[in-house]
Structure 1
Amino acid sequence: MHLSAISTQLWAALSSDTTTTPIDSSITVTVSELKDLLDQSSGGWLTQPLATLIAGAGVLASGYLVYRTGKHTRTQEREHFETSYALEVVRGLRDRFTTIASQLSDPSAAVRTAGIYAMEALAEDWLRRPTPAVTEAQACINVLCSYLRTPYVPQQGAGNQTGTIVRFTLSDRVVEERYSYRQDDLAVRQSIVRVLAAHLQPIEDDDRLPRSWSELDFDFSGAYFLDCDFSGAIFRKPVTFERAHFHGSSTRFSNSKFDANTVFSDAEFHSGRTNFESAIFGDGSGSVRTEFLRTKFLGVETNFDNTTFTGTSVEFGYCKFLGNVATFISTRFRTKFTKFTDIEFSSENTWFTEATFDGEENASFHKSIFSGQSTDFARARFQCKVLSFKGTFFTGEDVSFHGVDFTGERTYFSNAEFRTGQTSFNEALFDRGLTSFHNTLFASSYQTSFNQTEFVGKQIGFANARFESQTTFENPQVFANVDFDWTRNTDKTQPITVLPRQWPPQAGPPGR
């Protein structure tokens, strides 16, 4: 009866029109009982149910195999379709690139402008792919940058040389060359700059927003810019503005960030105002180089206030600062090497007020010329290992090192010349290491003052210094380890231009 009950329930379940026929789960069967059931299958009472069960199992197995085969086939078809679709999309994007690039050479300014925004959209499409196609997007950026690098003739309001017309005289000895340029090119260039600057801003990771282009390379060498605004731009890869020309009322790089090597060498800033305020050069890794070699700042105002330089080096060698004012107020130079060598500071006012030089190695103003009306290093901090003003030439009305901290291992003013109205080292601090004013000329028309200065370094030397005008050391806070020719050699006498007459100076009240 036990086996009969099992077979009865199996038969009922298999022959039922619905799938809800229950099987009594309380019925159990042992292996021996199942064997007996199978042995009895030759009997009429089990033959039909078992045959049906076996047939059903076969059907299920066959169906499963068909399902698996179909699923595998569908997977292959889907993968093939997806691959074909992806290839078709890529082919379409590349075809767009070719078409858009040709737009940028169209004689019509309107067509070229449309090409700019089409190229922007194409770069976006490349970057929005499941796996961003950075190389393809970079090609789009390269095209836009190359447009800015083409020749430009601002006097004609045109640019982008398109052809050369060569004519010969009858004698074939004289050649006349004329060049053709696309008209209304300035507006096109400005549109490119606006597009690039927009994509270099900090952008949230949101699919609804444009993609950031900060991880791409930019080459603006030889480009012409008018009133360009890269404020807040982030350049994470190397960028060059070598030989670029900046014109207009203002050029803005304020709050911009340059994480990799940056080159402005041989660039010319003709803008009325050039602003790098609060910009950051370097990502803090110590390997970044920033170059402003032979750069000319020709506008009314040049502003590097609160800018931070980090990395291996920042070089302003052989630059020219003209105009009304050049400021580095509260600027921080944290680079291993900081170089302002052989520079012409001819701006009426040059201010390094409260600037900090705290790089690991050297800061140098070697052989630079400060010829403006006012030069101000007041309250600056020179904490680098070696500071050099060797051979530096100071003229103008006023030069101030008031309250400056000279706390590096070595500080050199050797062979420097102070031919100013007045020069002040009042309340300055010479601490820690060696300070040399060897062969320095003090020839200010009014006076040079070291009043209330704190001399506490290991050695402060004025050997062979020339005091051609009044120079005062009155009321020093500390006056230790300071050597002059007349203190080291009894054959020398204190110049009448050096005060106080009662030597050595007596410490006065604190000045800071």
Structure 2
Amino acid sequence: MQFPRRRSPEQQGRHTPNLWPVWLVAPVSLILVAVLAYGLYHGVDTFLTAENPSKKPVSGQDNVKTTVTALTLVGAVLAGLYAYRKQLLDEGASHRADATQLAERYTKAAEQLGHDQAAVRLAGVYAMARLADDWEEQRRVCVDVLCAYLRMPYETDTAAEGYMKGEREVRLTIIRTIRDHLQDPAASTTWCGYDLDFTGAVFDGGDFSGVQLIGGMVSFGGAIFSGGIVDFSNAAFSGSRVNFNHTAFSGSRVSFMRVDLSGSRVTFNRANLSAGTIDFYRATLSGGMLDFNSAAFTGSRVNFNRATLSGSRVNFNRATLSGGMLDFNSAAFTGSRVNFNRATLSGSRVTFSQARFSSGTVSFDGAILSSGTVDFRRAIFSGATVTLDRATLTGGTVGFDGATFSGGTIDFSSAEITGGTLTFVSAELSGGTVGFDGATFSGGTVDFNGAEITGGTLTFEWATLSAGVVDFSLATFSGGVIGFSGAEITGGKLIFELVTLSGGTVEFSGAVFSTGTIDFRDAALGGSTLNFDGVRIDAACTVVWGPLPTIDANQP
């Protein structure tokens, strides 16, 4: 195995002392000593004379003794300065020797990483990691070498040509080594903040659990996750950018369980997810961004079960979902936006079952659903918006069965429904708005069977129904508004069979019924207002009133 050789790092010492030259320091020192001696001699004479109470003349011998004592002290100081200067020079030489030794260690570790035997390569991994700890100036270079090793061609099939025995353990050891150095940003040997480049690497396992990616760029672009478990659980991606663009997931389980993605951007743009699982169970995404734009889902499962998304954005724009599953079950959305704009769903299952939406938006604007399922079953809406504006539904199911609406908006404005099913079976609407304004129905079914509407607004204003079914059978209306104002019914069926209307308003003003069927058979009227002002009902339209029992408006 040939490991790519790179030029040895420059031999940098810790610091070479910046000392003044001896030819300058020596004469300056002599002059200073002479001036000091002269000053001391005359200064001592003046001092001793002033301190002599008998005013006797001070002897020259006393002056000399005092001056010699002072000069001795000065000499001691100069000797100390000389010793300090010599120490600095010795340290500089020692540091340069250290740098030479570190460079030699780098060369040896690189040679070990390129050895044919796995045991020697393992030794090279540990040697390079220890060198990174010891050599702060070239730590980034050492980290880059370990990342470069993972980018080298790697055969995972034991029967294939090019398979190297023991290579998997070497690679897993590198990953563990990187993980261990990304645990504590405050550690003196931390690798946090460094860019990590795994572009095109092959992963069949690896433990990155608990890593602290604080700033910097981590690239898995074009990598292949072909098997095993790659574990990022309990990691923190704070302010960093992590790139999985063009990555292929063909069998691995990649775990981001309980990961904190606050303030970061993690991208899976144009990734190919054909098998395996990407798991964001109980992940926290606050103020960050998670992108799967133009990704292809053909068999993988991406799990956001019980995740918390606040003030963040998750994008699946232009993604192709022909298989697999996106699972947001029991997730909590506050001020976040999840976008499936212009996505194509032809077989996948996207589920928000029991999710809680207090604010934010889930958008399928311009999406095409030909098969598969989008499931909001038993979800709780207290303020968010789900929009399928200009979406096209030709098959599959969009379900809100058992969902609770106390606020927010479900918007199908201008949607084109030619097939498939929209279900609100047993849903509860006490506030907010569900709107199909301007939608076109040429097939499929919209089913409110058994729904309970006590408030809010349900509107089909200016919608066109040329085929298909809108079914309110067994629904209960005790408040709110159901509006078909300006709607045009040219075919299909509008069914209110066995409906109980005890309050609120059903508004048909200005609607046109030219063909098709409107069925109020066995509906119970009492307390609700049905407004047919300006309605046009042509002879070709079938209106089934049947027996219309009247109920007490106060009847429970």
Please give the TM-score of this superposition, normalised by the length of structure 2: 0.64
Change (3 A) 1:491 1:303: closer
2:248 maps to what in 1? 245
Change (3 A) 1:77 1:367: same
Task: Give the Cα separation in 1 of the matches to 2:89 and 2:61.
Answer: 43
| Residues 37-59 of structure 1: CA deviation (Å, up to 9, x unaligned) | 362246xxxx6xx945x445323
Task: Describe how 1:244-263 pairs up with structure 2 within 5 A.
Answer: 244-248=247-251, 250-258=253-261, 259-263=263-267
1:276 maps to what in 2? 280
Please tell me the residue identity of whatever aligns with 1:488: S
3-state SS in 1 of match to 2:270: coil
Task: Give the Cα separation in 1 of the matches to 2:408 and 2:85.
Answer: 71
Please tell me the residue identity of whatever aligns with 2:69: L
Please tell me the residue identity of whatever aligns with 1:60: T
1:472 maps to what in 2? 472
3-state SS in 2 of match to 1:468: strand
Moved more, 499-508 or 360-369: 499-508
1:112 maps to what in 2? 121
Task: Give the Cα separation in 1 of the matches to 2:380 and 2:132.
Answer: 46
Contact 2:279 2:303 (8 Å CA) reproduced? yes
3-state SS in 2 of match to 1:273: strand
Displacement, 1:379?
Answer: 1.6
1:147 maps to what in 2? 149
Contact 1:377 1:400 (8 Å CA) reproduced? yes
3-state SS in 2 of match to 1:257: coil
Contact 1:322 1:346 (8 Å CA) reproduced? yes
Change (3 A) 1:445 1:310: closer
3-state SS in 1 of match to 2:476: coil
Task: Give the Cα separation in 2 of the matches to 1:198 and 1:35.
Answer: 72
Displacement, 1:319?
Answer: 3.0
Which one of 26, 37, 45 corresponds to residue 53 of structure 2? 37
Displacement, 1:393?
Answer: 2.6
Displacement, 1:292?
Answer: 1.2
Contact 1:157 1:185 (8 Å CA) reproduced? no
Displacement, 1:107?
Answer: 3.5
2:290 maps to what in 1? 290
Change (3 A) 1:336 1:266: same
Displacement, 1:424?
Answer: 1.7
| Residues 224-277 of structure 1: CA deviation (Å, up to 9, x unaligned) | 333211212223321212222334462212122334222212223455433121
Across the two proteins, how many residue pairs are aligned to each other? 441
1:265 maps to what in 2? 269
Task: Describe how 1:79-118 pairs up with structure 2 within 5 A.
Answer: 79-118=88-127
Contact 1:472 1:500 (8 Å CA) reproduced? no
Matched, 1:62 2:71: yes
Task: Describe how 1:151-300 pairs up with structure 2 within 5 A.
Answer: 151-155=153-157, 185-201=167-183, 203=184, 214-215=213-214, 216-225=216-225, 226-227=227-228, 228-236=230-238, 237-248=240-251, 250-258=253-261, 259-281=263-285, 284=287, 288-299=288-299
Matched, 1:492 2:513: yes
* Unaligned runs of at least 5 residues, structure 1: 1-30, 160-179
Task: Give the Cα separation in 1 of the matches to 2:400 and 2:268.
Answer: 29
* Unaligned runs of at least 5 residues, structure 2: 1-46, 193-210, 489-507, 529-550
Task: Give the Cα separation in 2 of the matches to 1:497 and 1:188.
Answer: 71
Contact 1:421 1:444 (8 Å CA) reproduced? yes
3-state SS in 2 of match to 1:302: strand
Change (3 A) 1:55 1:370: farther
Task: Give the Cα separation in 1 of the matches to 2:338 and 2:397.
Answer: 27
2:305 maps to what in 1? 305
Please tell me the residue identity of whatever aligns with 1:192: I
Contact 1:399 1:420 (8 Å CA) reproduced? no
2:411 maps to what in 1? 411
Task: Give the Cα separation in 1 of the matches to 2:176 and 2:249.
Answer: 15
Change (3 A) 1:235 1:366: same
Change (3 A) 1:243 1:116: farther
Displacement, 1:415?
Answer: 1.9
Displacement, 1:291?
Answer: 1.6
Task: Give the Cα separation in 2 of the matches to 1:140 and 1:192.
Answer: 12
Task: Describe how 1:350-499 pairs up with structure 2 within 5 A.
Answer: 350-356=350-356, 363-369=363-369, 371-372=371-372, 375-381=375-381, 383-384=383-384, 387-393=387-393, 395-396=395-396, 399-405=399-405, 407-408=407-408, 411-417=411-417, 419-420=419-420, 423-424=423-424, 426-429=426-429, 431=431, 435-441=435-441, 447-449=447-449, 451-454=451-454, 456-457=456-457, 461=461, 463-466=463-466, 468-469=468-469, 471-472=471-472, 474-480=475-481, 482-484=483-485, 485=487, 487-489=508-510, 491-492=512-513, 496=517
Please tell me the residue identity of whatever aligns with 2:67: G
Moved more, 240-249 or 182-191: 182-191
Displacement, 1:472?
Answer: 0.4
Task: Give the Cα separation in 2 of the matches to 1:185 and 1:32.
Answer: 86
1:75 maps to what in 2? 84
Please tell me the residue identity of whatever aligns with 2:146: L
Please tell me the residue identity of whatever aligns with 1:492: F
| Residues 34-79 of structure 1: CA deviation (Å, up to 9, x unaligned) | 665362246xxxx6xx945x44532332122123223333333334
| Residues 295-325 of structure 1: CA deviation (Å, up to 9, x unaligned) | 3445564311123445664311233456564
Task: Describe how 1:48-59 pairs up with structure 2 within 5 A.
Answer: 51-52=61-62, 54-59=63-68
Displacement, 1:435?
Answer: 3.0
| Residues 487-506 of structure 1: CA deviation (Å, up to 9, x unaligned) | 13254279536557759896
Change (3 A) 1:291 1:422: closer
Displacement, 1:193?
Answer: 3.1
Contact 2:445 2:471 (8 Å CA) reproduced? no
Contact 2:234 2:257 (8 Å CA) reproduced? yes
Displacement, 1:404?
Answer: 4.3
3-state SS in 2 of match to 1:232: coil
3-state SS in 1 of match to 2:517: coil
Task: Give the Cα separation in 2 of the matches to 1:247 and 1:119.
Answer: 32
| Residues 348-402 of structure 1: CA deviation (Å, up to 9, x unaligned) | 7532123355666773453142733673343243745673353143744772353
3-state SS in 1 of match to 2:213: coil
Please tell me the residue identity of whatever aligns with 2:436: S
Task: Give the Cα separation in 2 of the matches to 1:459 and 1:421.
Answer: 18
Change (3 A) 1:83 1:301: same
Change (3 A) 1:397 1:292: closer
Task: Give the Cα separation in 1 of the matches to 2:107 and 2:217.
Answer: 21
3-state SS in 2 of match to 1:214: strand
Displacement, 1:335?
Answer: 6.6
Change (3 A) 1:94 1:430: farther
3-state SS in 1 of match to 2:390: coil
2:318 maps to what in 1? 318
Task: Give the Cα separation in 2 of the matches to 1:390 and 1:403.
Answer: 23
Greater helix share, structure number: 1
Please tell me the residue identity of whatever aligns with 2:283: A
Contact 1:104 1:113 (8 Å CA) reproduced? yes
Percent of residue pairs bearing the same amino acid type: 20
Displacement, 1:144?
Answer: 3.1
